[in-house]
Amino acid sequence: MDTKTICFLLFSFICLNEARVISISPQPGLLVTQGGEDPDPEVNQKREFVKQMMKDAWDDYVRYAWGENELKPISQTGQDGGIYGDSKIGATIIDSLDTLFIMGFYEEYIKGRNWVAENFDFKTVNTSVSVFETNIRILGGFLTAYALTRDDLYLDQANAVGQLLLPAFDTPSGFPYNRINPATGVGSGSSTSMADLGTLHLEFEYLSEITANPIYVDKVNKIRQNLWDLEKPNGLYPNTVNVQTGRFSDSHVSMGGGADSFYEYLLKSWIQTQDQQARQMYDEAMDAFVANDLVRVSKQSHLLYIGELSGARIDDVGSHLECFAGGMFALGSVTDPKSPADGNRDRDMEIGQNFTNTCHESYIRSDSHIGPEVFRFTDTAEAVAVNDNEKDWAWDAAQSIEKYSKAGPGRGYSGLRNVYSSAPVQDDVQQTFFLAETLKYLYLVFSTDDLIDLDKWVFNTECHPLPVKGKNPMF
Ligand SMILES: *[C@@H]1O[C@H](CO)[C@@H](O)[C@H](O)[C@H]1NC(C)=O
Ligand SMILES: *[C@@H]1O[C@H](CO)[C@@H](O)[C@H](O)[C@H]1NC(C)=O
């Protein structure tokens, strides 16, 4: 079979359009969009349902907010500003490219791809933007689009964005500023968080690989080495760091917002490149959470949660952002290279399972069946035990989102102001991560595991899968 024929069979739409808009060649990495249908027709129906949610979210964005960062689904307008610093950079398009591609929405994917080709120019953004958000959404979006399609457009754009982020590292410590103005190269934000500085590694590592330019990986290796060298109180990483002094600047410790994906990236970085130092730092950090009594069980309902440390006081609070940690502990457990006797395989799987159960409780105890941003453990908290499997949990969440977050039939989706209301008020913003993460993860829950093989791909914290070195032909 010649190239064209294989291409036609696999990706008829893209290849039919090849001459006009896109140069794409069939490679092993591309097979990712094939298959994934569950043999159970009921699961398949749910998969199709999630796919339709994506179509509605995307179409509404195209209709009312094309080229802007986010859709306001109720106002039917676009929204820029916020984390994108008033620049109009089509953030929803870039964050959605891989979801569209993986779900097989080729026509929509190509529309997005062409918008990037014709309009995206990061160096014209003359306003300060978050380095973290730019990295996980924009750079991460381009890197995955490149790994899936091998379209050089994304390689060039990823490299351009990477170059424009580099001045953020011009600090005495080598820890980056958390904001940068791409047009002027001026960084700002001397006080930064562990999440801000510790959630760059996967993207920078892969960017160095595909550009054959070590500058990116050198920058993040320096961050890693700095953190390795720093003295950590009781083995814990406080959440805030000063980029001038290179030291921790508070005593607050958590696994939630401000820290979360730093821990995730230690583990995943080891998965991505087999970097032993990263695995060791991850293992030691998890041991420190346990040793300092931050992995806790609530009095009434016996729900496992991860407390926060403020000075010497432990705060009994959990957050939606922190709920990623259930998956992280499980991933750390199943990949643990140590023997079961030496490592913490069983401990970490139990923490992962029980904490995910806690997060699920936070969903089903709300009137809308959507989890709140923050939940506390007080003496009055009571569990409502249920016994369904995870696919049912995900389906319940998907239906709740459809019921409460949708702006109208066939329309986009909005955030909710109060999930404890049975008639929650919508906040009129369709976040880019709803298309990048929520819908992609839901779709994958209802797809077979070979669709995105976790031996070959590792997800960045915005749900953009990146190739694993030595296991994936794209790394
Ligand atoms: C950025 O904007 C400022 C005004 O806010 C202007 O003085 C400066 O020339 C602009 N720089 C570039 C490179 O566009
Ligand atoms: C995890 O949950 C199981 C089942 O509810 C329970 O038996 C076990 O004690 C819990 N483990 C921890 C560490 O909370």
Q: DSSP states of 305-369 as a string?
A: EE-EEETTEEE-EEETGGGHHHHHHHHHHHH--S-TTTS-HHHHHHHHHHHHHHHHHHHHTSTTS
Integer Cα distance of 357 and 365 in angstroms: 12
Domains along the chain with CATH numbers:
4-467 (1.50.10.10)
The model's pLDDT over 362-410, given as tens digits with 9 standing for 90+, comes to 898 888 888 888 888 776 653 333 345 667 989 999 999 999 999 999 9
Pairing mode, strands 317-319 and 313-315: unpaired
Q: How far is CA 296 from CA 291, 293, 362, in A?
A: 11, 7, 16
Q: Is 373 a catalytic residue?
A: yes
Atom of ligand 1 at shortest range from CA of 184: 13
290 in contact with ligand 1, CB cutoff 6 A: no
User: So what's the pLDDT on residue 422?
Assistant: 86
Mean local confidence (pLDDT), 146-168: 96
User: Could you tell me where the DSSP H helices lie in 150-303?
Assistant: 152-165, 194-198, 201-211, 215-229, 260-273, 276-291
Over 70: is that where the pLDDT of 434 sits?
yes
Q: Which run of H or E residues covers position 308? A: strand 308-310
Q: Count CA within 13 A, CB hemisphere, residue 15.
A: 13
Mean local confidence (pLDDT), 298-304: 90
Q: How far is CA 191 from CA 230, 264, 360, in A?
A: 16, 21, 34
Nearest CA among 404, 425, 412 for reference residue 77: 412
| Residue with the two structure tokens 């990061």 | 122
52 in contact with ligand 1, CB cutoff 6 A: no
Q: Tell me the β-bridge partners of 458.
A: 466
**Atom 2 in ligand 2: which residue has the minimum CA distance?**
354
Mean local confidence (pLDDT), 80-91: 85
What percent of the chain has pLDDT above 90?
78
Q: Which residues line ligand 2 (CB under 6 A)?
A: 297, 304, 350, 354
Instruction: State the Cα angle at 259 between 138 and 54, rounded to 5°.
Output: 40
| Residue with the two structure tokens 């080598």 | 174
* Structure tokens, 378: 């007080």
Nearest CA among 458, 399, 461, 455 for reference residue 436: 461
User: So what's the pLDDT on residue 75?
Assistant: 97
User: So what's the pLDDT on residue 317?
Assistant: 87
DSSP summary character for residue 426:
B
Would you place residue 305 in the very low, low, confident or very high pLDDT band (cuts 50, 70, 90)?
very high
Q: Tell me the β-bridge partners of 309.
A: 253, 314
User: So what's the pLDDT on residue 126?
Assistant: 95
Ligand nearest to the CA of 305: 2
300 in contact with ligand 1, CB cutoff 6 A: no
Over 70: is that where the pLDDT of 1 sits?
no
**Atom 4 in ligand 2: which residue has the minimum CA distance?**
354
Pairing mode, strands 186-188 and 240-242: unpaired
Would you place residue 308 in the very low, low, confident or very high pLDDT band (cuts 50, 70, 90)?
very high
| Residue with more model confidence, 378 or 275 | 275
Over 50: is that where the pLDDT of 113 sits?
yes
The model's pLDDT over 186-238, given as tens digits with 9 standing for 90+, comes to 999 999 999 999 999 999 999 999 999 999 999 999 999 999 999 999 999 99
Over 60: is that where the pLDDT of 417 sits?
yes
> Whole-prediction pTM value?
0.92
Ligand nearest to the CA of 123: 1
Mean pLDDT of the chain: 90
Integer Cα distance of 219 and 366 in angstroms: 43
Rounded distance from Cα 446 to ligand 2 centre (Å): 27
Rounded distance from Cα 126 to ligand 1 centre (Å): 6
Integer Cα distance of 5 and 232 in angstroms: 58
Rounded distance from Cα 377 to ligand 2 centre (Å): 17
Q: Which run of H or E residues covers position 401? A: helix 390-404
The active-site residue, picked from 42, 48, 107, 373, is: 373
In 311-464, beta strands by DSSP E: 313-315, 317-319, 374-376, 457-459
Q: Residues 385, 391, 397, 403: is their CA dihedral positive or negative?
A: negative
What percent of the chain has pLDDT above 70?
90
Q: Which run of H or E residues covers position 5? A: helix 3-10
Ligand nearest to the CA of 86: 1
Over 60: is that where the pLDDT of 85 sits?
yes
User: So what's the pLDDT on residue 229?
Assistant: 98
Rounded distance from Cα 378 to ligand 2 centre (Å): 19
Mean local confidence (pLDDT), 58-69: 98
Q: Is 461 annotated as a binding residue?
A: yes
User: How many residues are listed for the chain in this entry?
Assistant: 475
User: So what's the pLDDT on residue 169?
Assistant: 98
Q: How far is CA 391 from CA 94, 372, 408, in A?
A: 28, 20, 26
The model's pLDDT over 6-54, given as tens digits with 9 standing for 90+, comes to 333 333 333 333 322 333 433 433 434 667 899 999 999 999 999 999 9
Over 80: is that where the pLDDT of 306 sits?
yes
User: So what's the pLDDT on residue 352?
Assistant: 97
Q: Which stretch of 5-19, 126-140, 284-298, 419-433 has the lowest confidence by average pLDDT?
A: 5-19
